[in-house]
Amino acid sequence: MRFPRTLALLSALGLLSACADAVVEPEATVPAAGERTAQGPLLTGWIWRAGATLPLEVRYEERDGLAIWQGDIIIGKAGEVPATLQALRARMGGGPRLGLGISPGSGRWPLGIVPYVIDPGLANASRVTNAIAHIESQWGYVDFVPRTSETDYVYVTTASGAGDCATAVGRQGGQQVVYLGVNCTQGNATHELLHTLGMHHEQNRCDRDTYLTIKWANMRDPAEPYYAKACDGYDEYGAYDYGSMMHYGPYADSQNGQRTLEPKPFSSSNLNKMGQRSGLSTRDRTTVSEMYPRLLGPTGLAVSYPGNVPSLSWNPVSGASYYAVELTQRYEESDYERGYTSWEAGSLVGNTTGTSLTDTSNPYTGQSVCNVYSNAYGYSDYSYYYDVYAVFPNGKLSWNSRVPAEVGPC
């Protein structure tokens, strides 16, 4: 899957199953909310994606004072998108910017924390809170939190069009709006929130021609530019995903009720997956986890024993609120008759906002491993380690950093 191509943020800027011979046909040919792409005349403009080698020419429409690309991606305000390459170059450093390709440092939400506000006037606000709960349940290192005083945040409000669902891709800076019309479902809300995290439309992957047939003759003319492949400045995670929540359905932008998108080679199973808004696919979850990974623990962890008292130190981790230090006991047994078994149990030594801690409860013994037995039939021993975790403002832990602890009561 691609970032952006699931599309995802890169360096600089679901789940229906069916029998193999069964094809789920829609009850109507009208695209679902959020898939009404080209609704009006298209304009030509230019955007620059930091990290890409070339600027990008886009076809977009103006709707409710906004410049909308690919039907639901906001690239700026109406009238702000440079109409020529020369105008774009003259405005480098300012003007509208597209979330696609924003650098990880600026386009992703630090520590995976996304402050948000829901407009009190938004109908059926539970579709937003349920979408948030679903995303968070799929990957524990993304947190949407109610905004307090954060400068950068998501504001969810009502779109004027009943079927309009739109937002920008990636963190834009300041207030960025997610528009949801009254017909936008929880699945549509999830799709838009995945955009805010940095994911883009799957059918625009650079490699999509290997996996997707686009039936241009069935597509409304104004929509064609929205299906241009995006190749420059993006990266991919995993294989093409027909079941991604970021994939449009097979009848998107149809002018005659015939399919516009089909799997290549044709597969009714893959066709039935396309356009699902039930929940994140396995590859959607992988993409989010690659974008917002669990952070590594502190580097440079070391322990010394001045006066036979363990003293630990480590390097700071950016964004950490404090550090938790544990003493971990690990048991291992490998026996000819009983096989192999192991377990770990940790006890908190202490928390600190600094980058060092003294353990006054476990004196130095010079032993980090205590052997229970060792013979021709196997072995059994206890090992002791200090584990240090960085703890972030949302309560999430980094991976542990580990060093042997010479405090074993052998």
Q: How far apart are CA 257 and CA 29, in angstroms?
A: 5
Name the H helices within 145-246.
186-197
Any residues with CB less than 8 A from the CB of 333 and at least 6 apart, and which? 340, 341, 342, 372, 378, 379, 380
Task: Evaluate if residue 23 carries a pLDDT over 60.
Answer: no
pLDDT (tens digit per residue) in 217-247: 998 877 777 888 877 656 667 789 999 999 9
pLDDT (tens digit per residue) in 354-398: 999 999 999 999 999 999 999 888 999 999 999 999 999 888 899
Is 192 part of the annotated catalytic residue set? yes
pTM equals 0.75
Q: How confident is the model at residue 121 (pLDDT cuts 50, 70, 90)?
A: very high
Shared fold status for 2-291 and 302-404? no
Q: Within a 10 A sphere around the Cβ of 188, how many other Cβ atoms?
A: 24
CATH 3.40.390.10 fits 2-291, yes or no: yes
- Strands 212-214 and 43-47: what pairing? unpaired
Q: How confident is the model at residue 13 (pLDDT cuts 50, 70, 90)?
A: very low
Which fold, 302-404? Immunoglobulin-like (2.60.40)
What are the sequence ranges of the domains in the chain? 2-291, 302-404
Task: Evaluate if residue 162 carries a pLDDT over 50.
Answer: yes
What's residue 267's pLDDT? 95
Q: Which of 61, 80, 150, 192 is catalytic?
A: 192
Q: Would you call the peptide bond into 265 cis, given omega within 30 degrees of 0 as the criterion?
A: yes
Q: How confident is the model at residue 54 (pLDDT cuts 50, 70, 90)?
A: low
Which own/partner pairs from 76-82 qualify as long-range (CB within 8 Å, at least 24 positions apart)? 81/43, 81/45, 81/46, 81/47, 82/45, 82/46, 82/47
pLDDT (tens digit per residue) in 186-222: 999 999 999 999 888 999 888 999 999 999 999 887 7
